Amino acid sequence: MAEINWIRDVDDPRCIGKSLAEAKYYRTHKSHAYSQGMQEFMDTAIPCEIDGTVWRVHPNVNLYLDSTDRCNCDCHFCIAKVNFGRHVVAGADEYVAAITRAAKTLASTHPSIQLTGGEPTLNTERFIRICEAIRESGLRVPVLNTNGVNVKRMISTINTTFQHLNISLHHYNEADSRSLGFLPADLRDLGDMSTANIRVQCNMIGDYIDTYGEVMQMIAYAYHHIGARSIAFAQLTPLPIGDYYQNAVIQYVAEHPVDVDSILRHIEDDHRFVFEKYRGGVACYYEIYKFQAYDEPMTVCFKYSDNSYLSWIDDQAEYCPDFVLHTDATLCGSWNRNKKRIWRS
């Protein structure tokens, strides 16, 4: 993406609001949502001096701990399959020390913190030590991103560390999950065990979760089987060719599109859904609804994204939408370990 022409043809240049009519406009003009979300970031980014260099940082920046490349799953669409050697993983001592250092280095930016991977819970000792470092860091809104494989076994550590628990789950049927390269975990009644806010993260994939009916099955499964009260349905994000994503993942995403707009038109006609808000951000746009058919309301999010915009912002030297502590304990202002390097442990 060599150039983006920022489009400002609505009254509020920010892509945010509570009007369904405006949401439908952005849904139809997604490039407007992405570009306006990006423009808002660039307009509001805060200059911060970090290790002697001035960066322009997202006002609600995240620090992601990309703690391991290991995973018990091998999802065909996984965008963690990259070309810059995530298999180089720092030892536990080095990585924990890097978390402490990153928390101090980035203190002026007030980041929230997310632990991700790979699957962060596979190495029990490493996971526990990272959780201790997260608690000691004092960083806000701690989040665990996991496929759930060891969540029940590690629930006491999770409950004392994380405010939010993001569970990746891409089908309610085990056989379909396995055909995606995803190994479903035992998540029954997790909501009764966890003090964290459980949020199911489901990718919409052609031939799998790709219709209104399939979406409704996933909502029911997340609510009744897992005990979640929030679910996010994400379009597989288009991935730019020639960046750091593996070609097989780029091809899989291109071959499994979903007509999300059609699903949302059905949602609009279903009186059990109440529209709450829409929002555009850096390379993404989402709409949020409340599903009110159950004893407790279910928050349902639909997300579109386009990682070409992330690639574009990666080429804008001083801008940091996120911080990432990579598997080798390199701290960057990018998901590309070779760009915007702040320090290497």
DSSP of 43-92, one letter per residue? HHPEEEEETTEEEEEEEEEEEEEE--S--S---TT-TT-BSS-TT----H
For 333, counting Cβ atoms within 10 Å of its Cβ (0-12 exposed, 13-18 middle, 19+ buried), the class is buried
Q: pLDDT value at position 15?
A: 84
Q: What residues in the chain have per-residue pLDDT under 50?
A: 1-11, 13
Q: pLDDT value at position 84?
A: 85
Q: What is the pLDDT of residues 242-279, one digit of tens each?
A: 899 999 999 999 999 999 999 999 999 999 999 999 99
What is the distance, to the nearest Å, from the Cα of residue 286 to the centroid of all Cα atoms in its chain? 12
Q: pLDDT value at position 8?
A: 37
Which whole-number Å values give the CA distances from 82 to 5, 124, 167, 338, in the listed order? 29, 25, 22, 12
Local structure of 193: helix, strand or coil: helix
Identify any residues that bridge with 145 across adjacent strands, giving them in sequence order.
166
96-100 LR contacts (CB < 8 Å, sep 24+) = 96/129, 96/130, 96/132, 96/133, 97/329, 97/345, 98/325, 98/329, 98/331, 98/345, 99/65, 99/130, 99/133, 99/134, 99/137, 99/325, 100/133, 100/136, 100/137
Helix residue ranges per DSSP H, the chain: 20-28, 30-44, 92-105, 124-137, 155-161, 174-179, 190-193, 212-220, 247-255, 260-269, 308-314
Q: pLDDT value at position 260?
A: 97
- CATH number among 3.30.1360.200, 1.10.287.3610, 3.90.1150.10, 3.20.20.70, domain 16-329: 3.20.20.70
Q: pLDDT value at position 87?
A: 87
* C-alpha span between 109 and 312 (Å, rounded): 22
* C-alpha span between 190 and 153 (Å, rounded): 11
* C-alpha span between 290 and 301 (Å, rounded): 9
Q: What is the pLDDT of residues 57-106, one digit of tens each?
A: 999 999 999 999 999 999 999 999 998 888 899 999 999 999 999 999 99
Which whole-number Å values give the CA distances from 67 to 11, 87, 98, 101, in the listed order? 42, 11, 11, 15
247: closest CA among 76, 130, 86? 76
Local structure of 181: helix, strand or coil: coil
Mean pLDDT computed over every residue of the chain = 93
Q: pLDDT value at position 85?
A: 81
Q: How many residues make up the chain in this entry? A: 345
CB 134 within 8 A of CB 115: yes
